[in-house]
Chain A
């Protein structure tokens, strides 16, 4: 769904000029809402906060896509089989019930597993990055307060 760009748009330096905070669309969003006093040099490095944000974006996107496509995919497949191949879904499964019904009821434990897995991956891979991004935003906000 989201627009795929691996990097934030870079601050272009045309003809050796330092980019000014007024060229809004070109400034990475990270800095756009922060008003630096005129004349202050903008941090040039793309490692610290930008790298964190980029990593966080990639982690979130990966996690959301995999989770949503897995959930929707299973259901779409199940629905398609139900409607298109009824003979397969009415064949008795090992428990004696029709396969379709077993697959439908199987969704409940599978859902629960998916939720546990989602929470685990979010805590393991996404939360630390989010914390880092948030801490930076917080500290830069706090650092700015005395100036304004």
Chain B
């Protein structure tokens, strides 16, 4: 089952336990103290410095699904995986260039706040909350199920009951992080995770490069030999080689990642925690720099895994290569581990473990905040802050429990379609809704609802027909075959549907509505461009 020796396993177990204790302690200590301060729970008082906020954004953005899935694709498919990793980086850059500052200027606590500031209405809040949950819940299921597999793999057990126990334990932890820590507590965990992931990853990457004499060419050539496909490893087309339209498939996947990755609500919610427009920009610079560094580390480690272990070793551990990052890290230390090496390797596994926990906790927080703030508190304007905060904490439980159940049920299936579903929803529903409502002055409420609902429905319908769900040996339902959609990712169709339905909804809502929205846009334009008066530039 596992290639890890006893020393690495026991160090990892000790490290996992200490990380859990430490992070819980952090959450309790830094979580909101006062019982009636909403701003503290939702944004941590906007008091984080740009560097810390940037590391937290990077932490939110680098989810475990990103590390393990993209690591696997890089290791197994070479070139295609590297392109995937760079498009993940591009997504964050686009968030910085286009949306970060307007989001910060107009938003308060949730995505619903941003949309409602522009187009008031309860239906808008409801739709925003619904899309937030539909987009993030699949990602949470993927990661929680991943915790069970990771622990089983690293600690070397194969009992299915144990795995389910791990999923439930991790789920309970994620709810506690979100409910106890609020925005500030989860930010702290994200910072810890980013630092650990980058630090341990850098050590491993340096070791791998050292093994190949600091020569990237030698590394890539060795990986190409190890893959058994020779030069094909260094050109595009291995990832979708089996499909009918490999080129369209590749473009569609990139579109989903570039437009959807950074628009997901658990990333955008960190835009509201910066103190000023300038700080949000600085924070994003740090975040982009950290993610760029991580993309480099991930590429070196995953390619190194292929070069050192070969395709057979990687595919034997996991047919999709999800464990490639860990295998690469283990292989970098050589055959036998000294005590120090075992400790460094334990840091790598702990960083991945923490990544799983932290990103799930942030997603729970985003969903719970949206549920409490957009749906329940917005219905009763007289609700006291103390009650709303209690509500937000209970919402973490309400969101978390079904997700844990789903993860326990789905953990033995291929979960790739769920991760792709999240990215596609971000690209097809959330990205058009945010761009239209922040930059298009004639955008109306009907248009917004059409975008959110049309984009979401198109993804949900098309996704069922892809070969990730059925009709291939690695699909979620390998024994069934209702595969009718020719592409692997729906983005190439669903993103235009999302944008078009917003445009159509606006055009059909009448001249009067358009004129009204235009007036409203102009009345908030100075806020959108310059930020609220009285708050300095930092």
Contacts and interface: CB of A to CB of B under 8 A. Distances in A.
Interface in A74-128: 75, 79, 82-84, 86, 89-90, 95-98, 100-101, 104-105, 107-108, 111-112, 114-116, 118-119, 122-123, 127
A99 B78 CA distance: 14
Contact of B522 (A29, A75, A119): A29
B236 A100 contact: yes
A30 B528 CA distance: 12
Nearest to B291: A111
B344 to A, nearest CB: 25
A12 interface: no
Given A29-B526, A33-B523, A130 B531 contact: yes
Given A1-B435, A60-B529, A133-B526, A115 B86 contact: no
Nearest to A32: B523
A116 B93 CA distance: 11
Nearest to B287: A115
B231 to A, nearest CB: 7
B288 A111 contact: yes
B518 A104 contact: no
Contact of B96 (A30, A118, A133): A118
B80 to A, nearest CB: 9
A3 B514 CA distance: 12
A25 B90 contact: no
Interface residues of A, number: 59
Contacts of A42: none
B181 to A, nearest CB: 29
Interface in A22-73: 24-25, 27-30, 32-33, 53, 56-57, 60, 64, 67-68, 71-72
B234 A98 contact: yes
Contacts of B136: none
Interface in B416-445: 435-436, 439-442
Interface in B444-468: none
Dominant secondary structure at the B interface:
helix
B58 to A, nearest CB: 13
Contact of A108 (B296, B524, B532): B296
Interface stretch (B154-162, B274-282, B307-315, B348-356): B274-282
A147 interface: no
Dominant secondary structure at the A interface:
helix
Contacts of A96: 217
A45 B450 CA distance: 40
Given A33-B523, A98-B234, A101-B234, A114 B439 contact: no
A58 to B, nearest CB: 10
Interface stretch (B170-178, B184-192, B250-258, B318-326): B250-258
A89 B235 contact: yes
A1 B439 contact: yes
Contact of A86 (B236, B519, B530): B236
A89 B247 CA distance: 15
A103 to B, nearest CB: 9
A91 to B, nearest CB: 10
B516 interface: yes
B151 interface: no
Contact of B97 (A24, A67, A134, A141): A67
Contacts of A30: 522-523, 526
A115 B82 contact: no
Interface in B489-538: 515-516, 518-519, 521-526, 529-535, 537
B202 to A, nearest CB: 14
A53 B89 CA distance: 32
Contacts of A129: 530
B220 interface: yes
A96 B528 CA distance: 48
A104 to B, nearest CB: 5
Nearest to B527: A137
Nearest to B105: A130
Contacts of B216: 95, 97
A138 B514 CA distance: 29
Given A100-B235, A119-B281, A68 B94 contact: yes
Given A101-B234, A104-B79, A112 B288 contact: yes
B30 interface: no
Contacts of A114: 93
Contact of A56 (B284, B285, B530): B530
B96 A115 contact: yes
B530 A115 contact: no
Interface string B224-235: 000000010011
Contacts of B94: 68, 71-72
A82 B237 CA distance: 10
Contact of A107 (B90, B96, B97, B254): B90
A133 B526 CA distance: 7
Given A71-B94, A115-B285, A130 B523 contact: no
Interface in B251-298: 251, 254, 258, 277-278, 281-282, 284-285, 288-289, 292, 295-296
B24 interface: no
Given A86-B235, A133-B526, A137-B530, A3 B537 contact: no
B83 interface: yes
Contact of B82 (A3, A101, A133): A101
A3 B278 CA distance: 25
Contacts of B217: 95-97
Contacts of B83: 79, 82, 104
Given A71-B94, A118-B97, A127 B250 contact: no
- Which 9 residue pairs spanning A and B have beta carbons closest together? A29-B522, A138-B533, A137-B533, A29-B523, A130-B530, A67-B97, A32-B523, A2-B439, A96-B217
20 contacts: A2-B440, A2-B441, A3-B441, A29-B519, A32-B523, A75-B258, A86-B236, A95-B217, A101-B220, A105-B82, A107-B89, A111-B89, A112-B288, A127-B278, A127-B537, A131-B530, A133-B530, A134-B534, A137-B530, A141-B534
Given A75-B86, A75-B258, 13 more contacts: A3-B441, A56-B529, A60-B529, A64-B97, A75-B254, A82-B250, A97-B217, A98-B235, A100-B79, A104-B83, A111-B288, A112-B292, A141-B533
